[in-house]
Structure 1
């Protein structure tokens, strides 16, 4: 099997699994795809796949959305997308991979720091603005905002379904905003869209596995699964650079 197609299928599997279970595993998807496709072009393949999984998720989890959380997060997140578009347009490809590794390590450090601080710090209005801005920016330049977004949502005392629903709606809007930006940058092409379509069967399979696993996990387990996946991704990214 062609290496590019194999990497796209693997990325689709992880994408579907991540969206319907622990989240934050998006950090693994880009390194997998970068085995065959350079960083910025890989983003153009991933974002349509992300939108597809977002649509699947909101179709299934549409009754327990925390609109108050989304209203606080989304305006600064969209500003972050615009800032990320500006950076992506001038970013040197050689700097892309180490930048991803640094972002992952920063988010892991944030999570560990929050373990030793009162949980209420992530429920402060300023935290929503900072998290939204950072999530939009990181999502645009690295498709790696999952852990940051998840860490914020985990501290909002949401139910399991509300956590998944709110995360899915948030990223559907953010990823939808990224599509025209990537098109403007010339990254989304007919070839990239065709590769995105090739990943859909694996995406559906991953979503089914993730949905099954979600029902058997506690939210407290999500945090450590996210951190383990992020640690593996950081090691892999630095190995690439």
Structure 2
């Protein structure tokens, strides 16, 4: 078990609650958890610890929203995501932590800007005739960012916003998407050495906080207004991207 001060454990517990909330109510908030873990723990270790907590939260999200997923959308995204994960594995073999953070920060800010511009001018991904290029672009970026920093939440949040999904469909599709992808990442994470026995001990301590966040998120999701939901997603995405750029 790593030797952390009480405030270090407190920050990790808060971040674990945010992980649960991000899966069941407020997508995009997960980037804040990524930032907290990277501050308290060594960067590579933080990625492995966070991955297993995300999988725990995925179980709750899938259980709560399994009937609301858009499976046609998921199948459309999957090939590009797998390709993005593969590129992310190669990138991790050569890039240091600073390059990883700044690359993802730039990607996220670019996606926010493009999405907001297209939403103002016209629908960037028509609901009846979804654009294959958009699915390929967002999917590959999501695969890359989830592999290198568990930071694909904002990428897919922007895509689902562009698709104009209602809150429950948004959360259900995202729940299955990340449950599948995070489990898919486990052997790669073991291979590059970011999943460790020490990380598993930290996860055991923090799992209850994830459960609290996930259950609280369900209460919020049943009451949140669509416009408030969309604005929260955009704001939290921008905050997370800016942190990655300046950290």
Structure 2 CA distance, aligned partners of 1:106 and 1:126? 16
Which residue of structure 2 aligns with residue 134 of structure 1? 141
Deviates more, 1:139-148 or 1:95-104: 95-104
Say whether the 8 Å CA contact 2:35–2:244 is kept in structure 1: yes
For residue 56 of structure 1, what is the aligned residue in structure 2? 60
Whether the aligned pair in 2 keeps the contact of 1:11 and 1:199 (CA below 8 Å) is no
Alignment partner for residue 191 of structure 2, among 184, 198, 219? 184
- Over residues 125-177 of structure 1, what are the superposed CA-to-partner deviations in whole Å (9 max), with x where a residue is unaligned? 22111111111111111221112212222333434322211110001111111
Residue 121 (1) aligns with residue 125 (2): yes
Offset, 1:3: 4.3
Q: Which residue of 2 aligns with 1:40?
A: 44
Counterpart Cα distance in 2 of 1:114 and 1:214: 26
Q: TM-score, normalised by structure 2?
A: 0.89
RMSD in angstroms over aligned alpha carbons? 1.9
Q: Show structure 2 runs of 5+ residues with no match.
A: none
Does the CA contact (< 8 Å) of 1:104 and 1:230 recur in 2? yes
Query: Contact 1:76/1:132 (CA < 8 Å) preserved in 2?
Result: yes
Residue 98 and residue 131 in structure 1: after superposition, are their counterparts in 2 closer, same or farther (change >3 A)?
Answer: closer
Contact residue 5 and residue 198 of structure 1 kept, 8 A: no
Q: Report the secondary structure of 2:66's partner residue.
A: coil
Extract unaligned runs of 5+ from structure 1: none
**Corresponding residue for 2:20?**
16
State yes or no: 1:174 paired with 2:181: yes
The answer to whether the 8 Å contact 1:151/1:223 transfers is: no
In structure 2, distance between residues paired with 1:115 and 1:126: 17
| Partner Cα separation in structure 1 for residue 104 and residue 44 of structure 2 | 12
Match of 2:189, SS state, is: helix
1:75 aligns with 2:79: yes
How far residue 239 of structure 1 moved from its aligned partner, in angstroms, is: 4.1
2:105 paired residue among 97, 101, 105: 101
Greater displacement, 83-92 / 4-13? 4-13
* Distance (whole Å) between structure 2 residues aligned to residue 155 and residue 102 of structure 1: 19
SS in 1 for 2:125: helix
Could you tell me the TM-score, scaled by structure 1's length?
0.91
Q: Secondary structure at the match of 1:121?
A: coil
CA drift at 1:77? 0.5
